[in-house]
Copies of this chain bind each other. A is one copy, B any other.
Amino acid sequence: MDPRIREHAETIATHSTGIEAGDTVVVQLPPAAEDLAVALHEICGDRGAQPVFLSYSQRADRAYKRAADSFEEPAHRRALYEETDVFVIARGGANVTEGADVAPETNAAYNRAMETVKRERLSKRWCLTQYPTAGHAQLAGTSTEAYEDFVWDAVSIDWESQGAFQAQLVEILDDAETVRIRSGDETDLTMSIAGNTAENDTGEANLPGGEVFTAPVRESVSGVVHFDLPLYRYGREIDGVKLRFEDGRVVSHAADRNEELLTGILETDEGSRYLGELGIGMNRAIDQFTYNMLFDEKMGDTVHMAVGSAYPETVGETNTVNESAEHVDMIVDMSVDSVIEVDGEVIQRDGTFVFEDGFEMA
């Protein structure tokens, strides 16, 4: 197999999740990723960890969801997750539009049923990563070989120096009260992050990593935002999303494409109308937009926000953790005519941070 697959597995097992003797591990991979499964099983054996190999088939998922009338939490999946220490999950479907004919309300109902199981998983050590397939290459508009290079390069950067770079932003946000994001004519959003924690993502739970993220104070978000970069969700592209927030809640929404899918997401539950995450992309090694949120949200010159669940580790004790069965990230391009202000001071202008060369004060 391509030696980069074993390197990828090694990064997952050592850097991202720290698999060690006695760990119970769930490896959940698409059928195409058998090579990565082999490499991960080898590492588990070598370290005295115990793997269970789940298949991540979007074709099977689609078939199940379309056939079912309703969903409830599966007791056997819950039991498995409760006894698992480490989750390794890779995306890599043959066809990224596999879920295109699953109704938005079906996905919402499914996610509601799986919410507590998902929360169980998120309470453990976990890593979400990518296996390069022809389908994802097609989505990115590249050859399969170029996409392999893109993925394997992105997961194997020097995470220590990346972390040091990002720590400068963490320091700014840690004591901050208010963040304001302005971009073009259609984005001007203000939120409090007082009391919440900024996390330095250096390729652990997400591989690749490369962002600093926190949670807005739940009811503090106010203003309008135009997510001018598209996203793929449930096998369909959502483009040109505009949201208006009042007291933290989405009070109006629109999209240029697949608006009904956005509506379905927002109507999943009460929490899916609130922001759960504010993230700032800082990974300049990801140099192209590939319609894959795992990579796109980490790009430099971008910020992203997720409607839905907050990561508990980012929420201070006196603040509310937004709970939801959803978590959908959306991206604003900050490369032109854009600023991030923290407590009234500009900390990024047109994608360049205050601690970088080339930053212009005004």
Contacts and interface: CB of A to CB of B under 8 A. Distances in A.
Contacts of A57: 34, 37-38, 53
A156 interface: no
B67 A76 contact: no
22 contacts: A26-B76, A31-B55, A34-B57, A41-B61, A42-B64, A42-B66, A45-B67, A46-B68, A48-B69, A48-B70, A50-B75, A51-B64, A53-B54, A53-B55, A53-B56, A53-B60, A54-B54, A55-B55, A76-B80, A76-B81, A79-B80, A80-B80
Contacts of A61: 41
Given A50-B74, A54-B52, A74-B50, A60 B41 contact: yes
Contacts of A56: 53
What 10 pairs between A and B have smallest CB-CB spacing? A45-B67, A45-B68, A76-B83, A50-B74, A80-B80, A79-B79, A41-B64, A24-B76, A79-B83, A42-B63
A63 B41 contact: yes
A31 B34 CA distance: 8
A82 interface: yes
A55 B63 CA distance: 17
Contact of A31 (B31, B39, B83): B31
A64 B45 contact: yes
A29 interface: yes
Contact of A48 (B68, B75, B83): B68
Contacts of A54: 52-55
Contacts of A83: 75-76, 78-80
Nearest to A43: B67
Contacts of A38: 57, 59-60, 63
Nearest to A44: B64
Contacts of A256: none
Oligomeric state, in number of copies? 2
A68 B47 CA distance: 7
B45 A66 contact: yes
A4 interface: no
A133 interface: no
A65 interface: yes
A140 to B, nearest CB: 23
A200 interface: no
Nearest to A78: B83
A97 to B, nearest CB: 16
Contacts of A24: 74-76
Contact of A37 (B42, B52, B59): B59
Interface in A137-176: none
